[in-house]
C-alpha cells in the first residue's frame, strides 16, 4: 500500500480530470477535488502556447479566494497544430475531423500549471512534441465510437487506444501530454512536503 506525502497545508486539485488525479495519486499526493467553473475563453491575440498557463492561473485564483490557506493546483492542456488550438471536440464528427488533421503529422502539446499557495502564485508551462503515424480510417472510427475522445483536447488521450498504437515518438514528458507535468508540480510542491523536511533534519 502506497504511503502519502504529508503536506504543510491542505491540497486542492482544481480539476476533475481522471488523468490528473491518477498522476497525482501515483506520485504520492493526497488531495481534495474541487473543480473550477471559470470562463475558459481567451483573447484571439494570445499566442497558443500562452493559453494553458493563462487558463490555469484563472482557475487557481478563483478557488484560492475560497481557500486562501490551501495549496490550490490548476492545470490546462492544449493541443496545437500549426498555429491552431484543437480544443475538446463538440461531437464525434468534430473528433473525427481533428484526428484526420493530426494523422501523419507532428503537433505540440502544452500543459500549463498554476499553484496558488499562502506565499503566492507559481506558474509554468511545459511543452512536448508528439508525432503520429498515418491512421487508417477504421482506427479513427473505432476509437471515436467508444466516446472517451470527447473530453480530451485534440480528441485523443496518450494513454488510450489511438495514443498507444498511433504515437511514433514524443519529444518531452509523457505526463505533459497526459495532462500534468508532474516533475514541475513536484518542484513547486516540494517546499511544502513535511516528510522531506523531517528527513533533512535527521
The candidate with the shortest Cα–Cα distance to 107, out of 86, 135, 125, 136, is 86
Q: Which residue in 76, 141, 160, 195 is the catalytic one? A: 76
Say whether 37 is catalytic: no
The candidate with the shortest Cα–Cα distance to 114, out of 52, 28, 176, is 52
CB 185 within 8 A of CB 111: no
CB 184 within 8 A of CB 129: no
Look up residue 159 and give its three cell numbers.
494513454
* Cα–chain center distance at 6: 23
Look up residue 13 and give its three cell numbers.
486539485
Q: Percentages helix, strand, coil for the chain, rounded to the nearest 5?
A: 45, 25, 30
Tell me how far apart the alpha carbons of residues 146 and 165 are, in angstroms, rounded to a whole number: 16
The Cβ of residue 164 has, within 10 Å, a number of other Cβ atoms equal to 10
Tell me how far apart the alpha carbons of residues 97 and 100 are, in angstroms, rounded to a whole number: 5
Residues with catalytic function: 76
Amino acid at each position: 500500500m502506497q504511503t502519502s506525502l504529508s503536506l504543510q497545508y491542505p491540497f486542492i486539485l482544481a480539476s476533475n480530470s481522471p488523468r490528473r488525479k491518477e498522476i497525482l495519486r501515483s506520485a504520492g499526493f493526497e488531495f481534495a477535488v474541487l473543480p473550477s467553473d471559470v470562463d475558459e475563453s481567451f483573447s484571439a491575440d494570445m499566442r497558443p502556447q500562452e493559453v494553458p498557463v493563462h487558463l490555469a492561473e484563472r482557475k487557481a485564483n478563483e478557488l484560492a479566494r475560497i481557500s486562501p490557506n490551501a495549496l490550490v493546483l490548476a492545470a490546462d492542456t492544449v493541443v496545437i497544430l500549426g498555429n491552431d488550438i484543437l480544443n475538446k471536440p463538440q461531437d464525434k464528427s468534430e473528433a473525427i475531423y481533428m484526428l484526420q488533421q493530426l494523422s501523419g503529422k507532428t503537433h505540440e502539446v502544452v500543459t500549463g500549471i498554476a499553484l496558488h499557495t499562502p506565499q503566492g502564485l507559481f506558474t509554468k508551462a511545459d511543452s512536448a512534441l508528439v508525432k503520429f503515424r498515418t491512421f487508417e480510417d477504421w482506427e479513427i472510427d473505432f476509437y471515436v465510437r467508444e466516446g472517451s475522445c470527447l473530453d480530451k483536447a485534440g480528441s485523443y488521450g496518450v494513454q488510450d487506444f489511438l495514443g498507444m498504437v498511433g504515437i511514433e515518438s514524443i519529444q518531452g514528458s509523457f505526463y505533459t501530454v497526459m495532462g500534468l507535468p508532474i516533475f514541475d508540480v513536484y518542484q513547486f510542491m516540494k517546499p511544502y512536503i513535511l516528510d522531506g523536511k523531517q528527513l533533512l533534519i535527521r
